Structure 1
Amino acid sequence: MEFSARQFARSRCQWLWLALWFSSFLLLDESGFAQAAKPANAREIAAKLDAIKETVAAEVTAALRTNAFKGSYTTVWRQFEDAAIDALERVLPRHVPALAATNFDSGNVGREKNRLADLAIVVGGETVEISIKAARRSANPENDMGTFHDHPNRKQLFADSFTLWVRYEDANGTIKCDRAFFDRTWRFVGKSSLVDGVKYRKKDGNMRPKSWAMFDSGEAFWKTEMEFEAAVKRAETYRANELIKEHLRDLSEEDQRVLYERLREKFAPAAAKP
């Protein structure tokens, strides 16, 4: 069958239009796909977590309240940790579409984890840390929140750090979740009564949390992370000075002499130096 010139032109025009439409569709689809699939970085994930922290806390609270745990306060933290991690792995992807199961590293349930993070969110080679803490409602929390010595290392290891706190009640041998709290870790740290710095335990320099009253109000002692870091430094310096004063007499004569020589070298008048 032979086409007339008009039919040929019409057919050619239709094919050209179809090709243009299909090409534009591919470009739009490719552009849209690239935008949707653009990998988020750890800082973006942290900012999103910060924005939805109240929602995360509420949904994890609801999830944990469905369970009743058996045991003592010395071991129940492990049960709460496993249950909280499971809840977070379900809750977070619902509100942060960029997160998938492959972004979470939670170790083996019910076993000791040889890692720094209870739950790690790994994005683009960077890690956002989520620590899990559990404490009884009947007394203000005194959980370890990291030592002064380890603090700089953790800042290098993690792009950002969050903590999920589980406050629980125990009665008649049954332990139940009262409420969960979720926020950046530094906002949970308490303030020392001895120095204008963070709250800490003297013997090991482990930072300590704020009171339950401040948990409930959502208040923090530090307005910014920069303020918090300055408070860490002040407390660390104060503790070091107090330890020197306390243990100076217990040092051997040789150790005292070494300390003396180092201090003399540092503070010797410039004129006395060769």
Structure 2
Amino acid sequence: MNNTILKINSLKSKFEEKITCAFSKIELDNYQIAWKNTQDITTKEVKRILENEFDSIDITIPKSKSTYPDIKIENEDGIFAIDIKSNESQKNPWFDMARLDTIFQERINKYDEEWEIVIKYDSETKKFLDVYFLLFREVVGIRDECNGVKYRPYDGKIRPKSWKDFDNNVIYWKTKEEFLIGIKNSLKHRWKKNIEEHLIPKLNIDEKIEFRKLFE
């Protein structure tokens, strides 16, 4: 395995410890402000650790919070991404992770590896509860009906696993090979459902014959 991937994986405990410490120091009265700056607080800690652990590394932090990734890492081993997500504990995570129709060209083919930092907080008390540092694929949930990655049907956006899965260390995609199969299963399943529900009912007999020719 790539040396940088191994190194970043080994920093899991350090990332989680330092991020937890950073949020724990925040005054309760300031939590409202803190959650608006979750990415800034987390990025600062991660960047400091990476710079201390690597002799030669380029770290890019985008100015826009909507730009992926929140932390881009480049060195002789390749290009890597760390993204930061936060979600209230009262609801299972439902943040956007990627799109089924673009995940290969925009993510898998672009980065040698990706990680997610997921922060759990209480939306009522504004208190930090926990942080999880995991490979991107380890955060992705499962769609049982097709044994594929979890996604939102209408736009194909990939979704994370539940808090219960996080806390029980449930990982649905233990290898990259399993993850790629899961993506393909969901791609096929989504297209099949879309064709069944939205295309076929609108076709007449002649049009159905024309579409059938595509499979010959």
Question: Do these two structures clear the TM 0.5 threshold for a shared fold by scoring above it?
Answer: yes
| Equivalent AA in structure 2 for residue 160 of structure 1 | E
| TM-score of the aligned structures, taking structure 2 as reference length | 0.87
CA apart distance, 1:265: 4.5
CA apart distance, 1:251: 4.0
Question: Would you say 1:79 and 2:37 are equivalent positions?
Answer: yes
CA apart distance, 1:233: 0.8
Q: Which structure has more helix as a fraction of its residues?
A: 1
CA apart distance, 1:52: 2.3
Gap regions ≥5 residues in structure 1: 1-41, 268-274
- Three-state SS of the structure 1 residue aligned to 2:109 is helix
2-structure distance, mates of 1:263, 1:125: 47
Equivalent of 1:202, from 153, 176, 180?
153
Which residue pairs with 1:58 in the alignment? Answer: 17
Which residue pairs with 2:183 in the alignment? Answer: 232
2-structure distance, mates of 1:189, 1:208: 6
1-structure distance, mates of 2:187, 2:65: 30
Higher Cα radius of gyration: 1
Which residue pairs with 1:45 in the alignment? Answer: 4
CA apart distance, 1:61: 1.6
CA apart distance, 1:130: 0.6
Question: Would you say 1:98 and 2:51 are equivalent positions?
Answer: no
Query: 1:232-271: per-residue Cα shift (whole Å, max 9, x none)?
Result: 1111111110010110256476xx83x642431532xxxx
Which residue pairs with 1:165 in the alignment? Answer: 118
Please tell me the root mean square deviation across aligned C-alpha atoms, in Å: 2.5
Contact 2:2 2:77 in 1 (8 A): no
1-structure distance, mates of 2:203, 2:212: 17
| Equivalent AA in structure 1 for residue 55 of structure 2 | A
Query: 1:69-123: per-residue Cα shift (whole Å, max 9, x none)?
Result: 316xxx94x51112111111112333x23355xx110022xx445x431110121
1-structure distance, mates of 2:108, 2:169: 24
Question: Would you say 1:121 and 2:73 are equivalent positions?
Answer: yes
Equivalent of 1:182, from 108, 126, 133?
133
Contact 1:104 1:121 in 2 (8 A): yes
2-structure distance, mates of 1:55, 1:129: 18
| Equivalent AA in structure 1 for residue 127 of structure 2 | K
